[in-house]
Amino acid sequence: MQERVALVTGSSRGIGRTIALSFARRGYQVVINYHRNREQAEEVMAEVNAAGSRGILVRADVSQAGEARELIEAGVKEFGRLDVLVNNAGINHDQLMLRIQDEEWERVINTNLSSTFYCSRAAVKHMFKKRFGRIINISSVVGISGNAGQAHYAAAKSGLLGLTYSIAREYGSRGITANAVAPGYIESDMTASLNAEQRRHILSGIAAGRLGKPEDVAAVVLFLASAEASYVNGQVIRVDGGMGPF
Ligand code: NDP
């Protein structure tokens, strides 16, 4: 494989970290992005190097258009190309809709959804030139079904699907694909706060009988990024251990 370059937003922790390391182990050069956790991001970078791959570390708040653009440009400046963009950075802040303040709505929408627009817009023009590109957006099953207590988060994750379909249609003829991955419940800091009762309830609805691991998501992302996935475009792939609907 020609040395391809993958950029993963929010790769200091959790699912993004595992995705970035999976790329590094497959021989990709990687752009690691963090927002608040520099120390953890540095640990990821050390693992990238230990895997024999090259990477750079870029601090950027991707909910801000200017910072998102600078992140993409930093990757292209370093490696001269950008083949894969994984829009993974995200936050949740569970709250019944009646209690969601305007600022919280905007923060959740901007971090999960606007960030993906900002990064994808900046990345596509570089992918254009190479006539190859893979945009992979990390949505959620709640973007398909909705969820009580997550109106803003679910709206953002649904919005990601419309954005994915539109990018797929606009740039499919240029060798660029856009797909979404919709994870169910995955072990990470985001799900660490679930209490025992919530966990029991969630597990009862998962055919696999367990929560997912970040590796379960990374495996699908790696496939979508590959040359072999060139005819998969504008799709949403659920990675939820069988939560249905089937
Ligand atoms: P974590 O909370 O474990 O990690 C979130 C990551 O996003 C961190 O690296 C964090 O960086 C980064 N991040 C947050 N805000 C920003 C920002 N403004 N700019 C740049 N980076 C930011 O989350 P998960 O790994 O669990 O989730 C990853 C993605 O998967 C999210 O989009 C989430 O919505 C989605 N998802 C997760 C599920 C789950 O069950 N865990 C289920 C379905 C979807 P830092 O720490 O440096 O601030």
Instruction: Point out the ligand 1 atom lying closest to the alpha carbon of residue 12.
Output: 9
Is 153 considered catalytic here?
yes
Q: Is residue 221 part of a domain?
A: yes
Q: Is residue 39 part of a domain?
A: yes
Say if residues 8 and 20 touch (Cβ distance below 8 Å). yes
Band of pLDDT at residue 246, cut at 50, 70 and 90: confident
Say if residues 243 and 155 touch (Cβ distance below 8 Å). no
Give Cα 98 distance to the centre of its chain: 28
Here the CATH number for the domain that contains residue 49 is 3.40.50.720
Collect all residues with Cβ–Cβ distance below 8 Å to 126 and sequence separation of at least 6: 72, 76, 81, 82, 133
* Residue 179 beta carbon below 6 angstroms from any ligand 1 atom: no
User: What range defines the domain where residue 168 resides?
Assistant: 5-239
Average pLDDT of 130-136? 98
* Residue 10 beta carbon below 6 angstroms from any ligand 1 atom: yes
Does position 205 have pLDDT exceeding 70, yes or no?
yes
Q: Is residue 244 part of a domain?
A: no
Band of pLDDT at residue 132, cut at 50, 70 and 90: very high
Distance 208 CA to ligand 1 centre (A): 23
Q: Is residue 245 part of a domain?
A: no
Q: Is residue 13 part of a domain?
A: yes
Instruction: Verify cis geometry, omega within 30 degrees of 0, for the bond prior to 214.
Output: no
Collect all residues with Cβ–Cβ distance below 8 Å to 236 and sequence separation of at least 6: 139, 144, 161, 164, 179, 180, 181, 182
Q: Is residue 246 part of a domain?
A: no
Whats the size of the chain, residue-wise? 246
| Residues 54-63: tens digit of each pLDDT | 999 999 999 9
Total number of domains in the chain: 1
| Residues 75-99: tens digit of each pLDDT | 999 999 999 999 999 999 999 999 9
**What pLDDT was estimated at residue 244?**
79
From the candidates 28, 34, 118, 153, give the one annotated as an active-site residue: 153
What percent of the chain is modeled with pLDDT above 90?
Answer: 96
Average pLDDT of 61-81? 98
Q: Is residue 156 part of a domain?
A: yes
Does position 1 have pLDDT exceeding 90, yes or no?
no
**What pLDDT was estimated at residue 89?**
98
